[in-house]
Structure 1
Amino acid sequence: MLKIVDIVPYFPKKVIEISKLDTHKPELNTKKIIDAIGVEYVHQSAKDEYAVDMGRKAAEKLIKKNNLKKDDIDFLFFASLNNYFFIPASVFFLHKQLDLSDKTASYQLKLGCSAFIYGLMLIQGLFATNQAKRVLLVTAIDIRNFLYPNSLGTFLLFGDGATATIIEKNDAAPIIPFVYGSNGRFADNVFIKDGTENFPYSKKSFKERKDKYGTTFSDATLYLNSVNTFNNTISKTEWMFQKLVEEKGVNLANIDFFFFHQSSLLTLKALQKKFNIPDEKMIFALKNYGNTVSSTIPIALFDAEKQGKLKRGDKILLSAFGIGFSWISAVLEY
């Protein structure tokens, strides 16, 4: 039903070597933490470089590389948690910066790590109902400006970046099976609270707080309950794999490569062990980029193809678990 034609990433020029960051906690074994999360380098956006700007740079490069006519793009999807203005949605500023046709519809996916796969599912629906033939799916995150230096679980893990993907309708390709779900009861497990209409910035916004696990954060920076996130990632991924096998007829033994959201090396290793995935089928793409939220899976696809590992016709499984909580998995032929 669809074909991923090409993926182009964009990374800000500033590169941070994680081992050299000042964590303000010299008593901690930073190397041990870095080994667990699996990140050696991350990129950080420039002072006046926002998610929309990074998305535009990735999209412009993709459009030029593939000699695309902007009028041929039926739909623009923008997967980003960042706001350019409070309103309207950031996708319209991306549409403007790309100078797309007024025939190109725009839609923003304000999801986190699961957004790329959710985008594929929605795009398949557009193709199935003959609403579009070519879609531009852009992911972008500007997250490092919202990290609390004393919160090592996030400060040493997340990186900025963007991707642009061209997806075209392909009647010869089979319908992609998706399994998915969400649970808003965990919405307060990964969040940035202050800076909204309900919780405007105040003198307390940047005051250090601690949760019951000892995690430090502030209400104006990213909070991550790593324990609940890890446990739910494992349990919901197990549920999704079971649904794929029992209801969608997927044979996991026939999967050539497994592309999980690149959350942390600890989580990826746990998933690999849980599902007995051979090393040669497991994709890791954290080391040089960090956790780039909605961009991790397209970056991993780009990297694997660039390295000559991923080839056209390979059967791949995509799976992501993210804030909200939300989760989704899919099996497709690349």
Structure 2
Amino acid sequence: MYTSKIIGLGKFVPEHVVTNEDLSKVMDTSDEWIQERTGIKERRHIKKGDGNSTAIMGLKAARLAIERAKIDKDDIELIVFATLSPDYYFPGCGVQIQKELDIKTCPALDVRNQCSGFVYGLSVADQFIKTGMYKNVLVIGSENHSGGLDMTNRSRHVSVIFGDGAGAAILGRSDDESGILSSHLHSEGEYIDELSLRGPSTEKWVPEIIAENSQEDIPYFPKMNGQVVFKHAVSRFSQVIEEGLKFNNLTKEDIDMFIPHQANLRISQFIQKKLGLKDDQVLNNIEKYGNTTAASIPIALTEAWEEGRIKKGDLVVMAAFGSGFTWGSVIIRW
């Protein structure tokens, strides 16, 4: 059995900054209200004409990760793309990346696990490397939320949360004791409707929606039961982190860097306090980018590495929770 490790990281966020004050001009909200409930000050949105999309942002992050990994793009043997906002209904973004990188025949697959997407994607890549099937795997998390948000009072409690961006990691075989120690994945479909976007879908195609011409209870904007999501998030975060630590005979005192999915600053602070971690042991950047779903962990991980906050030998814990409900953790010896 081989061990996989992250050998290259990259991120990309659009240049267009949308502040809380900007949102207060189009809906009944305020900077104070948003910061108090989410910790978010601003987020990045794709701007019409800037050439960005879910796949293109993922491509830009991937190219940087490949460069930093010091490998050739043709060394990539598998592409795993995590997103809830693909450019096309089908095919998925994975093959778009393959085309843009001009990689001829490597397999490409898409992971649709929303906020847990990158954690699930890392787990998939890790298994392929562990079994010896592939040596280098590209994992991407990318989201274009802004084009699908309802910027009216009807959805103000949801639309203020999300931002656009992408992060990428190259996984390769480890030649020492560093690398991914374990990953732990869960889901609980009982809560499928607490955080969801139901249409367009095969249940309700676009022509049907247009024909109805109704502005009531529009199904093609995200909806969220915030209280239920928060309650389950703080519980599942803690459980899946403890699961990972216990599996590796580690304790919370062994953690050097915790990188949570950037869902809500209050959730991250709750988990930080429960783990007894100092501020410099946690990477929070939700105040700058909002919730970028599958992109949030790779963006945060890249920033932690770029800022020199992760060094060789550190124990890095990543955890995510989101729609589905799905949740998971990855334990890494850097």
The question of a shared fold, defined as TM-score above 0.5 by the shorter chain, is answered with yes
Distance 2:213 2:165 in 1: 26
1:129 paired with 2:128, answer: no
Q: How does 1:152-167 map to 2 (within 5 A)?
A: 152-167=156-171
Q: Which residue of 2 aligns with 1:15?
A: 17
Worse-matched range after superposition: 239-248 or 266-275: 239-248
The CA deviation at 1:22 is: 3.1
Instruction: List runs of 5+ in structure 2 lacking aligned partners.
Output: none
Shift of 1:245: 4.3
CA RMSD of superposed structures (Å): 2.1
**Structure 2 residue aligned with 1:179, among 179, 184, 187?**
184
Q: Distance in 2 between matches of 1:79 and 1:246?
A: 27
* Equivalent in 20, 43, 63 of residue 66 of structure 2: 63
Which of 95, 99, 106 is residue 98 of structure 2 equivalent to? 95
The equivalent of 2:38 in structure 1 is 37
Partner residue, 1:115: 117
SS of the aligned residue for 1:39 comes to coil
Structure 2 residue 324 is matched with structure 1 residue 324: yes
SS in 2 for 1:176: strand
Alignment of 1:73-92 (within 5 A): 73-92=76-95
Deviations 1:108-140 (A, max 9, x none): 111111111212211221112111111111111
User: In the TM superposition, what whole-angstrom CA distance separates every residue of 1:153-187 from its partner, at most 9, and x where no partner exists?
Assistant: 32222110111211111142366122221011111
SS in 2 for 1:21: helix
- Is there any run of 5+ residues in structure 1 with no aligned partner, and where? 210-217
1:195 aligned to 2:216? no
Question: CA shift at 1:30, angstroms?
Answer: 4.0
Q: Is the deviation greater in 65-74 or in 119-128?
A: 65-74
Q: 1:247 to 1:138 in 2, by over 3 A?
A: closer
AA aligned to 2:39 is: G
1:288 aligned residue: 288
Secondary structure of the 1:139 match is: strand
Partner-residue secondary structure (3-state), 1:288:
helix
Q: SS of the counterpart of 1:194?
A: coil
2-structure distance, mates of 1:63, 1:241:
29
**Following the alignment from structure 1 to structure 2, what is the Cα–Cα distance between the partners of residues 266 and 243?**
22
Number of the residue aligned with 2:233: 233
Letter in 2 for 1:328: G
TM-score (norm 2): 0.90
CA distance in 1, matches of 2:331, 2:70: 29
1:312 has 2:312 as partner: yes
The one-letter code sitting in structure 1 at the alignment partner of 2:38 is I
The change in CA–CA distance for 1:54 and 1:29 in structure 2 (over 3 A counts) is closer
- Identical amino acids, percent of aligned pairs: 26
Q: Distance in 1 between matches of 2:158 and 2:70?
A: 39
Are residues 273 and 62 of structure 1, via their aligned partners in 2, closer, same or farther at CA, if it must alter by over 3 Å? closer
Code of the residue aligned with 2:157 in structure 1: it is G
Q: Secondary structure at the match of 1:101?
A: coil
Q: Give the SS at the match of 2:202.
A: coil
Distance 1:46 1:279 in 2: 33
Q: Residues 18, 107 of structure 1: CA spacing in aligned structure 2 closer, same or farther, 3 A cutoff?
A: same
* In 2: Cα distance, 1:30 partner to 1:278 partner: 27
Q: Which moved more, 1:80-89 or 1:250-259?
A: 80-89
Deviation at 1:20, TM superposition (A): 2.5
Q: Which has the higher helix share?
A: 2
- Aligned residue number for residue 4 of structure 2: 2
